[in-house]
């Protein structure tokens, strides 16, 4: 790759003597600069900055709360029948270890999922009019640019629909699948697993990006 001349120079001759100090100071100033910008920005720009900062803050709080939750002990709140607890434990409060960060495990799984390459099977191509149904819209039903997907699709957990007016490809919620029954060839047993994504639809990249699952599609 071209243009890595700064990296190269640093490899050969090292950093300037004040580089790290300057970097530290710049980062320390950054906070104040950001806040000044956020306070001064007017109109739509201000709104956009506020929205961005708000989202960042919310994410930060969520992460912190998750870590808090993993390390706290909670009181058991389910009612225990009389006589179920021995006398010497009566005055002790039962606590449970809070759930471990199952979310991070899921995240790890997702990262792992991108690593495997699978051979693409040869399948009968699906015709466009079989895959999509033309939706007529407009007052006189003359506009024909919308399409409804007639096959099973997968949309991610964070998916938000476009406003109906601008939605070109409609994926009906009844045909959206989140779980798949996967058969393990060696263990000869079937697991019900969450679908993470549609890796490759042999009919073309458009169907892959739409998350359409037809025969021969590779999902992870």
**How confident is the model over 89-101, as pLDDT tens digits?**
666 655 555 555 5
39 and 99, same structural domain? Answer: no
Q: Is residue 120 part of a domain?
A: no
213 and 135, same structural domain? Answer: yes
Q: Is residue 169 part of a domain?
A: yes
Q: Which residues of 99-134 are buried (b: 16+ CB within 10 A; e: fewer)?
A: eeeeeeeeeeeeeeeeeeeeeeeeeeebeeeebbee
Claim: this prediction has a pTM higher than 0.85: no
207 and 144, same structural domain? Answer: yes
Alpha-carbon 48 to chain mean position: 22
**How confident is the model over 22-74, as pLDDT tens digits?**
999 999 999 999 999 999 999 999 999 999 999 999 999 998 888 887 666 66
Domain residues for the domain of 77 are: 73-113
Number of domains into which the chain is organized: 3
77 and 67, same structural domain? Answer: no
């Amino acid at each position: 790759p071209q243009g890595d001349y700064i990296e190269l120079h640093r490899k050969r001759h090292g950093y300037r003597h004040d580089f790290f100090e300057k970097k530290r100071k710049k980062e320390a100033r950054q906070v104040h600069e950001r806040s000044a910008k956020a306070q001064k920005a007017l109109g739509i720009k201000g709104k956009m900055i506020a929205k961005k900062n708000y989202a960042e803050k919310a994410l930060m709080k969520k992460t912190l709360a998750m870590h808090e939750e993993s390390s706290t002990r909670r009181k058991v709140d389910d009612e225990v029948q009389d006589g179920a607890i021995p006398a010497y434990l009566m005055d002790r409060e039962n606590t449970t270890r809070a759930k471990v960060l199952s979310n991070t495990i899921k995240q790890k799984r997702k990262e792992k999922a991108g690593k495997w390459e699978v051979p693409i099977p040869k399948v009968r191509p699906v015709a466009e009019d079989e895959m999509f149904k033309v939706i007529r819209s407009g007052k006189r039903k003359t506009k024909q640019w919308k399409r409804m997907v007639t096959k099973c699709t997968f949309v991610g957990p964070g998916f938000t629909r476009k406003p109906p007016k601008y939605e070109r490809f409609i994926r009906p919620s009844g045909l959206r699948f989140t779980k798949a029954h996967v058969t393990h060839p060696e263990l000869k047993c079937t697991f019900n697993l969450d679908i993470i994504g549609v890796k490759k639809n042999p009919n073309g990249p458009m169907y892959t990006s739409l998350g359409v699952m037809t025969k021969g599609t590779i999902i992870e």
